[in-house]
């Protein structure tokens, strides 16, 4: 089984983000692997270890992505493709999916694993659109993957009324939840080996496409402005005798907040 797993480099959500004139201030930002993609990498590596799968990673971004890719190599990914093209300015999910479609078509993959969402967009679209473009079956929000035979996998996904068990005919696309696994910490040996591994870097022309052809020149939607989110004000905090402060807070909930 050949697996393609998609990985995006995103801003670290744990750090403060400043906004000026409708844009995010680059200064002071740090970048990390998208958390859900790290789960996707772990899922791919487990399929390699348990089911002899071959694992390829693809990331669309810039050369800065190589540190992240080396981390994924250290986790056990075997091959990596980095799509870097200066013409890609502000791609939407459709453009990313259009590029991933080309990457998919160049390989002979049985399964695509994407994260359920990217931490910077929080949008959860790319993997699902990719499946539509490829006319492949797709299951999102997946929390387990089990290989049934060469042409079938059984996955479970978190749905609205419980865990749904779905049998999928390959090739297919799945998007994974963070509940699927606990990504491993790479071992020292892996980290050393990862340093020497090659990363295949391609621009859109090398991929046989162009920014226009993937819809990157005329995005269906674009961020017109970033704004600060309305932060809640810290309210009243009570310390001291538990009985006394709890009674006081209940009184406030009833008479000030009027929730009871």
Partner 1 sequence: MAKILVIADIKEGVLKGSTAELLSKAKALSAQTAVVAIGSNIESLIADMAAAGSDTQYIADDKSLELFSAGPYAACVVAAAQQFEADMIWFGFSEAGKAAAPRVAAQLNAACATEIIDVTLEGEQIQVIRPAIAGKVIQRIQVNTQTLVAVVRAGAFEATPGITGTQNMVKLSIPAPDLKAVIKQILSDASGEIDLADADIVVSVGRGARDQAGIDLVRELARDLSAGFGSSRAMVDGGFMAHNKQVGQTGKIVAPTLYMAIGISGAIQHLAGMTGSKTILAVNKDPEAPIFNVADYGIVGDLFEVIPILRQEIKKIRG
Ligand X SMILES: Cc1cc2nc3c(=O)[nH]c(=O)nc-3n(C[C@H](O)[C@H](O)[C@H](O)COP(=O)(O)OP(=O)(O)OC[C@H]3O[C@@H](n4cnc5c(N)ncnc54)[C@H](O)[C@@H]3O)c2cc1C
Ligand Y SMILES: Nc1ncnc2c1ncn2[C@@H]1O[C@H](COP(=O)(O)O)[C@@H](O)[C@H]1O
Chain residues that interact with ligand X, rule: CB under 6 A: 35-36, 178
Edge-first strand order for the sheet with 172-176 is 152-158, 138-149, 172-176, 111-115, 2-6, 54-60, 79-83, 200-202
Report the C-alpha gap between 214 and 97 in whole angstroms: 8
Contact between 216 and 91 under an 8 Å Cβ cutoff? The reply is yes
CB of 226 to ligand Y, least distance (A): 16
Q: Which of 35, 193 has the CB closer to ligand Y?
A: 35
CB of 131 to ligand X, least distance (A): 22
Contacts with 86 (C-beta within 8 Å, 6 or more apart), sequence order: none
Site string for partner 1, 16-35 (x = CB under 8 A): -x-x----x-----------
Report the C-alpha gap between 52 and 42 in whole angstroms: 14
Report the C-alpha gap between 103 and 83 in whole angstroms: 9
Which residues from 96-155 bind ligand Y, rule CB under 6 A?
Answer: 96, 114-115, 117-118, 121, 123-127
Cβ neighbourhood burial of 36 (10 Å; 0-12, 13-18, 19+): buried
Site string for partner 1, 91-110 (x = CB under 8 A): -xxx--x-------------
Q: Which of 121, 248 has the CB closer to ligand Y?
A: 121
CB of 100 to ligand Y, least distance (A): 7
For helices 93-106 and 126-134, give the axis angle rounded to 10 degrees.
50
Nearest CA-CA partner of 193 in 54, 40, 71: 71
Report if residue 56 touches ligand Y, rule: CB under 6 A. no
Report if residue 140 touches partner 1, rule: CB under 8 A. yes
Report if residue 50 touches ligand Y, rule: CB under 6 A. no
Q: Could you tell me which stretch among 54-62, 69-77, 106-114, 128-136 binds partner 1 (CB under 8 A)?
A: 128-136
Residue among 28, 30, 161, 196 that touches partner 1 (CB under 8 A): 161
Q: Which residue ranges make up the site for ligand Y (CB under 6 A)?
A: 6-8, 34, 36-37, 58-61, 93, 96, 114-115, 117-118, 121, 123-127
């Amino acid at each position: 089984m050949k697996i393609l797993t998609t990985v995006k480099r995103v801003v670290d959500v744990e750090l403060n983000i400043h906004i000026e004139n409708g844009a995010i201030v680059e200064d002071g930002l740090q970048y990390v692997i998208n958390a859900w993609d790290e789960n996707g990498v772990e899922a791919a590596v487990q399929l390699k270890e348990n089911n002899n799968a071959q694992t390829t990673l693809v990331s669309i971004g810039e050369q800065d992505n190589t540190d992240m890719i080396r981390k994924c190599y250290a986790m056990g990914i075997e091959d990596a493709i980095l799509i870097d093209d200066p013409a890609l300015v502000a791609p939407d999910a459709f453009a990313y999916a259009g590029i991933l479609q080309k990457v998919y078509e160049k390989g002979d993959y049985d399964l695509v694993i994407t994260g359920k969402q990217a931490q910077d967009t929080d949008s959860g679209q790319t993997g699902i659109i990719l499946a539509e473009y490829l006319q492949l079956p797709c299951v999102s929000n997946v929390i387990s993957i089990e290989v049934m035979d060469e042409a079938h996998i059984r996955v479970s996904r978190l749905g609205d009324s419980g865990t749904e068990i779905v049998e999928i005919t390959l090739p297919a696309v799945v998007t994974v939840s963070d509940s699927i696994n606990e990504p491993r910490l790479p071992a020292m040996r892996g980290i050393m080996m990862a340093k020497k591994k090659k990363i295949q870097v391609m621009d859109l022309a090398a991929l046989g496409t162009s920014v226009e052809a993937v819809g990157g020149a005329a995005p269906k939607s674009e961020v017109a402005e970033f704004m600060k989110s309305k932060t809640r004000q810290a309210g009243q905090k009570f310390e001291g005798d538990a009985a006394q402060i709890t009674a006081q807070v209940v009184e406030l909930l009833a008479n000030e907040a009027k929730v009871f």
